[in-house]
C-alpha cells in the first residue's frame, strides 16, 4: 500500500488551520489557514511547496471555508485522502486516546465542553461541518488532554473537597499532550533509547506554554491544570497566581469574574509584565535596547520555567534529558540559557555554540560535555494528529 494522506484540521472560533500530512513525509504536502471567519474579511491562505495562494471568502462560516479547502487538499493528495484528524482541546476523563468520530463520541465531546467553553464548541463546529461535507471519510478526534490521562491521582487531584472532583470533574487535566508526546518520542529516537524505557522533562514554550514529565512513554505530571491557565508565565496568561487574587480583586476593586478572567488570560503573562508585548522576539529585541519591562518579563519567564521543571523532576526516577520545543523553545538560545542557569542542581548546563546553532527548525543536543542531555526538538502537532488518526484506521 502506498503511503497514506490524512487531512488535519484545527478549528478555532473564527479560524481553521489545516495541513495535509503524508505518513512517509515530515513536511506537509499542503497547509493553510482560513481566518476571520464570519466577517467580511474572511480569507483562506494556503501553501504547497514554494507556491502560496489566498482567496477572499467574505462572510464565510466554518462549513463554507471547509468546502473551499477540501478540493485544495484533495487535489494535492491526488484524490488519495484516507481520513481527517481533528484537534480537540478537551477530552475530560472520557478520552485517554484518539477516538473515531460518531454520534457517541460527539456526544461525549459536547458533554465535556463546560471544561473548555472557548475551545470545544469551536472544535465541534469544524467536526460537524466536516462530517456533513465528507460523510464517507473516516474522521478522528485527537485530544490535547488525552496524553495526560496517565497522570497518577496524586498529581492530578487538587486539595479541595472531593465532591468537586467526583461530581464536577474539578481536577488537573493538562494540555499540549500531542506536542509533549511527539517530541518525547522523537527525543528517544534521537538518543537511541526505547521510548518505553526513557525518561524526559519537556518544556513546550509557545504563546501557551507548559512543562511535562514523561516516563516510559507516559505523561506523569504536567504544569497546566483544569484549564490552560495554570502553570508557567505565557504570552498573555498569568500562569500560577495566589488563588486568593480573585477575591482580593473583587473585594478591593469591585471587579467582576469576567474582568478577572480577561485580566489573567488576556492581559497578563509576558504582555502584562513587560507592558510592551506578548511576543518573545519583540521582548528580546527590547531587552537588548535596555527596556526594563521586557528585561523583567524575560527574567520572570525563565525563573518560573526552571521552577516548574525542577518540580516536574519529582515525577521521574531517572532523567534521560530535557527537551525544548514550541516557537520559543525551538528558537530562543537566550531563554534556554537563562532557564538552565537556575537548574545547575539537576546537572543541566549548555554548550554555548550548540545552543546558538539550534534555531529555526534545527534539532540537536545542546548540553555541555559531561552534563545531562538537553535537546531542541521542533514539535509537529499536525503530524502527531495524523499518526494518531492512522493508528486508529489500522
For ligand ADP, the closer of residues 139 and 380 by Cβ is 380
Closest CA to 85 of 387, 321, 295, 365: 387
- Single out the residue of 74, 207, 216, 337 in contact with ligand ADP (rule: CB under 6 A): 207
Asked whether the CA dihedral 294, 295, 298, 303 is positive or negative, the reply is: negative
Complete DSSP assignment for 334-369: HHHHHHHHT-GGGT--B-HHHHHH--TT--EE-BPT
3-state SS of 250-295 is HHHHCCCHHHHHHHHHHCCHHHHHHCCCCCHHHHHHHHHCCCHHHH
Q: Is 281 marked as a binding-site residue? A: yes
| 281 Cβ contact list (under 8 Å, min separation 6) | none
Binding string, residues 231-250; x marks residues near ligand ADP by CB under 6 A: ----x---------------
Q: Would you say 331 or 389 has its CB closer to ligand ADP?
A: 331
Residue 49 assigned ligand-binding role: no
Site for ligand ADP contains 178 (CB under 6 A)? no
**What Rg value do the Cα atoms of the chain yield, rounded?**
21
Binder among 84, 328, 350, 366 for ligand ADP (CB under 6 A):
328
- Which is nearer to ligand ADP, 280 or 315 (by Cβ)? 280
Contact in structure between 45 and 117 (CB atoms under 8 Å):
no
Interface of this chain with ligand ADP, residues 332 to 361, rule: CB under 6 A: 332
Strands (E) located in the chain: 5-11, 16-22, 30-35, 43-48, 51-56, 83-88, 99-100, 139-143, 199-205, 209-215, 218-222, 321-325, 364-365, 374-376
**Which range touches ligand ADP (CB under 6 A), out of 123-131, 204-212, 217-225, 286-294?**
204-212
How far apart are CB 387 and ligand ADP at their closest, in Å? 19
Contact by Cβ (8 Å): 138, 100: yes
Contact assessment for residue 55 and residue 44, using Cβ atoms and an 8 Å cutoff: yes
Question: Could you say whether residue 55 binds ligand ADP (CB under 6 A)?
Answer: no
Question: Of the two residues 250 and 296, which places its CB atom closer to ligand ADP in the complex?
Answer: 296
Q: How far is the CB of 152 from ligand ADP (least distance, A)?
A: 27
| Residue 331 interacts with ligand ADP (CB under 6 A): yes or no | yes
C-alpha cell belonging to residue 115? 471544561
How many residues bind ligand ADP, per CB under 6 A?
A: 13
Residue among 326, 367, 375, 387 that touches ligand ADP (CB under 6 A): 326
Whole-angstrom distance, CA of residue 383 vs CA of residue 391: 12
Report the nearest approach of ligand ADP to the CB of residue 330 (Å). Answer: 8
Q: Which one is catalytic: 61, 136, 144, 196?
A: 144
Q: Is 52 annotated as a binding residue?
A: no
Question: Contacts with ligand ADP in 260-289 (CB under 6 A)?
Answer: 279-281, 284
Would the annotation count 279 as a binding residue?
yes
144 is catalytic: yes
In this structure, what is the dihedral angle of CA atoms 282, 33, 24, 138, given to the nearest 10 degrees?
140
Binding-site sequence positions for Mg(2+): 10, 381
Binding-site sequence positions for substrate: 87
By annotation, the residues acting in catalysis are 144
Binding-site sequence positions: 10, 17, 87, 204-208, 279-281, 327-331, 381
Binding stretches for ligand ADP (CB under 6 A): 206-208, 235, 279-281, 284, 326-328, 331-332
Amino acid at each position: 500500500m502506498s503511503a497514506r494522506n490524512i487531512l488535519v484540521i484545527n478549528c478555532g472560533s473564527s479560524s481553521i488551520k489545516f495541513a495535509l500530512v503524508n505518513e512517509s513525509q515530515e513536511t506537509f504536502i499542503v497547509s493553510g489557514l482560513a481566518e476571520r471567519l464570519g466577517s467580511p474579511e474572511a480569507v483562506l491562505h494556503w501553501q504547497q511547496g514554494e507556491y502560496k495562494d489566498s482567496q477572499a471568502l467574505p462572510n464565510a462560516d466554518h462549513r463554507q471555508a471547509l468546502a473551499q479547502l477540501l478540493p485544495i487538499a484533495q487535489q494535492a493528495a491526488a484524490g488519495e485522502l484516507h481520513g481527517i484528524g481533528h484537534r480537540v482541546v478537551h477530552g475530560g476523563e472520557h478520552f485517554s486516546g484518539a477516538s473515531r468520530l460518531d454520534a457517541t463520541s460527539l456526544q461525549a465531546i459536547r458533554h465535556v465542553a463546560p471544561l473548555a467553553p472557548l475551545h470545544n464548541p469551536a472544535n465541534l463546529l469544524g467536526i460537524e461541518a466536516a462530517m456533513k461535507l465528507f460523510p464517507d471519510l473516516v474522521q478522528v478526534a485527537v485530544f490535547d488532554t488525552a496524553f495526560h490521562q496517565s497522570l497518577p491521582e496524586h498529581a492530578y487531584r487538587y486539595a479541595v473537597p472531593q465532591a468537586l472532583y467526583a461530581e464536577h470533574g474539578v481536577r488537573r487535566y493538562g494540555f499540549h499532550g500531542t506536542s509533549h508526546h511527539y517530541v518525547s518520542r522523537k527525543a528517544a529516537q534521537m538518543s537511541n533509547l526505547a521510548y518505553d524505557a526513557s525518561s524526559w522533562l519537556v518544556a513546550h514554550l509557545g504563546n501557551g506554554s507548559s512543562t511535562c514529565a514523561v516516563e516510559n512513554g507516559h505523561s506523569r505530571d504536567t504544569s497546566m491544570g483544569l484549564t490552560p491557565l495554570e502553570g508557567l508565565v505565557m504570552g498573555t496568561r498569568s500562569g500560577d497566581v495566589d488563588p486568593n487574587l480573585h477575591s482580593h480583586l473583587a473585594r478591593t476593586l469591585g471587579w467582576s469574574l469576567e474582568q478577572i478572567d480577561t485580566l489573567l488570560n488576556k492581559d497578563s503573562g509576558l504582555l502584562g509584565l513587560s507592558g510592551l508585548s506578548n511576543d518573545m522576539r519583540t521582548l528580546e529585541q527590547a531587552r537588548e535596547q535596555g527596556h526594563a519591562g521586557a528585561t523583567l518579563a524575560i527574567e520572570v519567564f525563565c525563573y518560573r520555567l526552571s521552577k516548574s521543571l525542577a518540580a516536574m523532576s519529582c515525577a521521574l526516577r531517572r532523567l534521560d534529558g530535557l527537551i525544548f520545543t514550541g516557537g520559543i523553545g525551538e528558537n530562543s538560545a537566550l531563554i534556554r540559557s537563562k532557564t538552565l542557569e537556575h537548574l545547575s542542581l539537576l546537572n543541566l548546563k549548555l554548550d554555548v555554540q550548540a545552543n546558538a546553532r539550534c534555531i529555526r527548525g534545527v534539532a540537536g543536543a545542546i548540553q555541555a560535555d559531561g552534563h545531562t542531555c538537553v535537546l531542541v526538538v521542533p514539535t509537529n502537532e499536525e503530524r502527531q494528529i495524523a499518526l494518531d488518526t492512522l493508528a486508529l484506521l489500522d
